[in-house]
Amino acid sequence: MAFTSKDVMELRQRTGVGMMDCKKALVATDGDMEAAIDYLREKGMATAAKKEGRIAAEGIVYAKSCGKNHVLLEVNCESDFVAGGPVFKEYVDKVADYILANPVPVEEVIAAVQPITNEYVMKMGEKLSIRRYTLYTENGSAIDSYIHMGGKIGVLVEASEGTAPEVIHDIALQIAAANAQYVSKDEVPTTELDHEREILRAQALNEPNPKPLNIIEKMIEGRVQKYYKEVCLNEQVFVKNGDLTIGQYLKQNGDAKIIRFTRYAMGEGLQKRQDDFVGEVMSQAGLK
């Protein structure tokens, strides 16, 4: 698998490791980005891998409610200028209204609202793409949403019945800020834990003076507990009160339970087309 200078830059951004080491990692893994991250972590050069990948597409994450239905959706466009304008938001709001009334798969939403999409494409002169949505319906539960930075991050949270609005809103803010992946430890897939243990074991064995295996295994379990505190909502430190975990905060507030949540970061996993002018100049100069 080939890779470019932009891949090297992305790997650097995702791991914080120097450019040359990032290039070596991509060479060693045949250009596989995720394998290169593992390679750097095993060598002890990167302590973590950012989960969100490339945030390159333009658009917004948007939330709307109607009755018991609550939707979180992402709609993409081509430029940040359009994304920040009222006409684009008007279009996204109409898409949200359709979903709230017709919670069908996203492919069917796209087909059903195509006439509206065509109308707004003509108005704005850009391609518009309904990427994804999640819809929660209240069923003896409490639901809240939060949109951060004008649509860069959006969160939808469902909590147990009777959870105070300010509590569930605090949880939505926490998820936006700390990017939990799961509600609790028991939701973390065994395969993911096994993979994390392999990385941690390789890190320990690659140290200049590796410790005995029994000590390494104890260290790994300690680091797994730290991993839980990063990815599990209930184990995270509460961003508004560093003396509490989220689990403790919920217990203090009527022993509330978080049932599920969805977090969208606008454009995660997408890459906007852009010309590699630097690479082109380097190539023409014989430096690439």
Instruction: Indicate which CATH number applies to the domain containing 84.
Output: 3.30.479.20
- Report the pLDDT value the prediction gives residue 287, as an integer from 0 to 100: 44
79 pLDDT above the threshold of 50: yes
Cα end-to-end distance, the chain, whole Å: 17
- Indicate if the pLDDT at residue 208 is higher than 70: yes
DSSP symbols for 12-42? HHHH---HHHHHHHHHHTTT-HHHHHHHHHH
Residue 200 lies in a domain: no
User: Residue 265: inside a domain, yes or no?
Assistant: no
pLDDT of residue 82: 92
> Residue 237 domain-assigned?
no
User: 75 with 141: CB under 8 angstroms?
Assistant: no
Report whether pLDDT(87) > 70.
yes
212-226: average pLDDT:
91
Of 102, 137, 172, which one is at a domain's C-terminal end? 137
- Asked if residue 75 and residue 30 are part of one domain, the reply reads no
Q: Span 93-100, mean pLDDT? A: 98
- Cα–Cα distance, 103 to 123 (Å, whole number): 27
Q: For the segment 116-159, what is each residue's pLDDT rounded down to a tens digit?
A: 999 998 899 888 999 999 999 999 999 999 999 999 999 999 99
If asked whether residues 50 and 60 sit together in one domain, one would say no
93 within domain boundaries = yes
Question: What pLDDT shows up at residue 10?
Answer: 85
Q: Write the Ramachandran bin of 67: left for phi over 0, alpha for psi from -120 to 50, otherwise beta.
A: left
| Confidence (pLDDT) at 249 | 98
- Sequence-ordered strand ranges (E) for 118-238: 129-137, 141-148, 153-160
Instruction: Read off the pLDDT band of 43 (50, 70, 90).
Output: confident
The residue type at 230: E
Distance (Å, whole) CA 275 – CA 4: 12
> Rounded to an integer, what distance in angstroms lies between the CA atom of residue 24 and that of residue 30?
10
Instruction: Say if residue 49 is in the same domain as residue 61.
Output: no
Classified as helix, coil or strand, 250 is helix
21-30 mean pLDDT = 93
Residues 83 and 121 reside in one and the same domain? yes
132 and 95, same domain (yes or no):
yes
Share of the chain above pLDDT 70, in %: 90
Percent of the chain scoring above 90 in pLDDT: 68
Last residue of one domain, picked from the residues 19, 37, 54: 54
Helix H or strand E encompassing 265: strand 258-265
Distance separating alpha carbons of residues 11 and 14, to the nearest angstrom: 5
SS3 content of the chain, % helix, strand, coil (to 5): 50, 20, 30
In a domain, 9, yes or no: yes
Cα 272–chain centre separation: 17
Domain boundary among 85, 116, 137: 137
Q: Where residue 18 sits, what CATH number does that domain have?
A: 1.10.8.10
Query: Which domain does 125 fall in, by range?
Result: 55-137
What average pLDDT does the segment 91-114 reach?
97
Average pLDDT over the chain reads 89
Q: Return the sign of the alpha-carbon dihedral for residues 59, 60, 65, 68.
A: positive
Do 106 and 74 fall into the same domain?
Answer: yes
The confidence band for 279, taking pLDDT boundaries of 50, 70 and 90, is very low
How many structural domains is the chain composed of? 2
pLDDT range class, residue 11, cuts 50, 70, 90:
confident
Q: Is residue 278 pLDDT above 60, yes or no? A: no
Instruction: Summarize the confidence of residues 29-52 as an average pLDDT.
Output: 79
Q: Is residue 101 part of a domain?
A: yes
Per-residue pLDDT at 288: 46
Q: Tell me if 19 sits within 8 A of 8, measured CB to CB.
A: yes
